[in-house]
Chains A and B, each alone.
Chain A
Amino acid sequence: MKCSEEMIERIHQYLDHDIKQADERILREHLQSCTECAQHLHELEKSIALVQSTSHIEAPSNFTQAVMNSLPEEKKRVGVGR
Chain B
Amino acid sequence: METIVKNRIKQVKKGDQNAFAEIVDLYKDKIYQLCYRMLGNSHEAEDIAQEAFIRAYVNIHSYDMDKKFSTWLYRIATNLTIDRIRKKKPDYYLDAEVAGTEGLTMYSQVAADVALPEDQVATMELQQMIQKEILKLPDKYRSVIVLKYIDELSLIEISEILNMPIGTVKTRIHRGREALRKQLRHL
Show the binding face of A for B, using Cβ within 8 Å. Answer: 9, 12, 15-16, 18, 40, 43-44, 46-48, 50-55, 57-60, 63-64, 66-68, 70-72, 75-76, 78-79, 81
The CA-CA distance from A70 to B53 in the complex, in Å, is 10
Q: Nearest 6 pairs between A and B by C-beta? A: A78-B15, A59-B32, A59-B28, A47-B180, A12-B174, A43-B185
Show the binding face of B for A, using Cβ within 8 Å. Answer: 15-18, 20-21, 24-25, 28-29, 31-33, 36-37, 42, 46, 49-50, 53-54, 57-58, 126-127, 130-131, 134, 145, 149-152, 155, 170, 173-174, 177-178, 180-181, 183-185, 187
The CA-CA distance from A70 to B185 in the complex, in Å, is 44
Beyond the given A15-B177, A43-B181, A59-B33, please list 20 additional residue pairs across the A-B interface where CB-CB is below 8 A.
A12-B170, A18-B155, A44-B178, A44-B181, A47-B181, A54-B130, A55-B33, A58-B29, A58-B32, A59-B31, A60-B32, A60-B46, A63-B28, A63-B46, A63-B50, A64-B21, A64-B25, A68-B21, A75-B15, A79-B17
Does A68 lie within 8 Å of B24, measured CB to CB?
yes
Does B127 lie within 8 Å of A63, measured CB to CB?
no
- Quick one: closest B residue to A60, CB to CB? B46
Which residues of chain A come closer than 8 Å to B36, judged between CB atoms?
57
- Taking the closest CB of chain B, its distance from the CB of A31, in whole angstroms, is 16
Which residues of chain B come closer than 8 Å to A57, judged between CB atoms?
29, 32-33, 36
The CA-CA distance from A15 to B25 in the complex, in Å, is 33
Neighbour of B17 across the interface among A18, A46, A63, A68, CB < 8 A = A68
A-B contact pairs, 13 of them (CB 8 A): A12-B174, A12-B177, A16-B173, A43-B185, A46-B187, A51-B145, A54-B150, A55-B152, A58-B33, A63-B24, A63-B46, A68-B20, A76-B17
- Quick one: closest A residue to B54, CB to CB? A70
Which residues of chain B come closer than 8 Å to A71, judged between CB atoms?
17, 20, 54, 57
Neighbour of A67 across the interface among B54, B126, B131, B174, CB < 8 A = B54
Neighbour of A50 across the interface among B15, B25, B178, B187, CB < 8 A = B187
The CA-CA distance from A15 to B170 in the complex, in Å, is 11
Which residues of chain B come closer than 8 Å to A44, judged between CB atoms?
177-178, 181
Which residues of chain B come closer than 8 Å to A18, judged between CB atoms?
155, 170
